[in-house]
Amino acid sequence: MSLRLGDTVPNFTAETTIGPIDFYEFLGSSWGILFSHPKDFTPVCTTELGSVARLKPEFDKRNVKVIGLSVDALGNHDAWSQDILETQGAALNFPLIADTDRKVSDLYDMIHPNANDTVTVRSVFVIGPDKKLKLSLTYPASTGRNFEEILRVVDSLQLTANHSVATPADWKSGEDVIIVPSVSDEAAKEKFPDGWKTLKPYLRIVAQPGK
């Protein structure tokens, strides 16, 4: 199944390091990030899971639940978590799915046969509280992901959802944002009473709401 932005993501049940879960129930009314790693006991994945563990308080602040996945068994996950703590200085503090039958991997199209027909690529799915796909990323197995960038994307998505603004290239939290074209000048006056800077009729710059 190929998921596109705006699609409702499929629900599933799975065995994880925190016990069996129903994915929709796990997410509840939160945002979610589902990400896959190719295999347990591999070097790049070890650094990634350590990074996510260190950043989990930041995801929590944003009401985002993170959950990882690989095609390895639960026993491997548990043993590997000790290596993550030892080498990365951060204990695993979010669930990992044991997708040994590849049910979830196939459901979310995480196995790309031309890259490798047995393990998942480095997929990332950002899911809104409405269970719709807001962002997807696919990295090769050899390239570790930048989870600080994924946090930045979450900040942008949440600003759009809550304030009808978009974020420009290379934007960082706290910097100016863009009023989306669907908001008329009249509506913008109500949303942004302190005003904005018009560079072009379609390019209106405003201070980030809430900052």
96 is catalytic: no
Catalytic residue (one of 45, 49, 52, 111)? 45
Going along the chain, which residue ranges are E strands?
13-14, 21-22, 31-36, 64-70, 96-98, 122-127, 133-139, 165-166, 177-179, 197-200, 203-206
What letter represents residue 69's amino acid?
L
DSSP reduced 3-state for 35? strand
Query: How is residue 116 annotated by DSSP?
Result: -
Residues with active-site annotation: 45
